[in-house]
Each structure stands twice: as structure tokens, then as C-alpha cells.
């Protein structure tokens, strides 16, 4: 698997995990968990974008 594709997939996974943590934090009224979820979601978005850039340069 090419690095760009791998980063995009991992980015999607981190975004999904972040959304779940953020929602769980909001439901349980746990601001730390919600903030952790937001951070992980942001990290996933960044990783996905890095993968897209890598994919452009792989061609």
C-alpha cells in the first residue's frame, strides 16, 4: 500500500475515533474526553490531508 493511501485511511480512522470520543464526552458530561476527541479528530483530518498531498506527489 502506498504511503499516501495509508495516511488517508489512518486519518479517517482517527477522525472516526475522535468523533466517538467527543460524543461520549458530551453525553457523559466529561469535558476532558470531549476535548481529547476533538484533538484526535483534528489530528485525523491533518493526517488525511497529508495523505492526499503525498498521493499527488507519488504520481
**2 pLDDT tier (thresholds 50, 70, 90):** confident
For 28, phi then psi, to 5°, come to -90, 5
| 57, pLDDT greater than 80 | yes
Buried b (16+ CB within 10 A) or exposed e, 22-47: beebeeeeeeebbebbeebbebbeeb
**43: domain range?**
13-58
Give the pLDDT score at 3: 86
pLDDT of residue 59: 66
Q: Is residue 6 part of a domain?
A: no
* Degrees, nearest 5: CA angle 23-47-35: 30
Residue 52 to residue 8: CA distance in whole angstroms: 7
Q: Is there a domain that residue 49 lies in?
A: yes
Give how many domains the chain has, as a whole number: 1
Q: 3-state class of 54 per DSSP?
A: helix
Q: What is the pLDDT at residue 44?
A: 96
Amino acid at each position: 500500500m502506498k504511503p499516501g493511501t495509508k495516511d488517508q485511511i489512518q486519518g479517517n480512522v482517527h477522525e472516526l475515533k475522535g468523533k466517538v470520543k467527543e460524543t461520549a464526552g458530551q453525553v457523559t458530561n466529561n469535558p476532558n474526553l470531549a476535548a481529547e476527541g476533538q484533538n484526535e479528530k483534528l489530528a485525523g483530518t491533518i493526517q488525511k490531508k497529508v495523505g492526499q498531498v503525498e498521493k499527488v506527489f507519488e504520481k
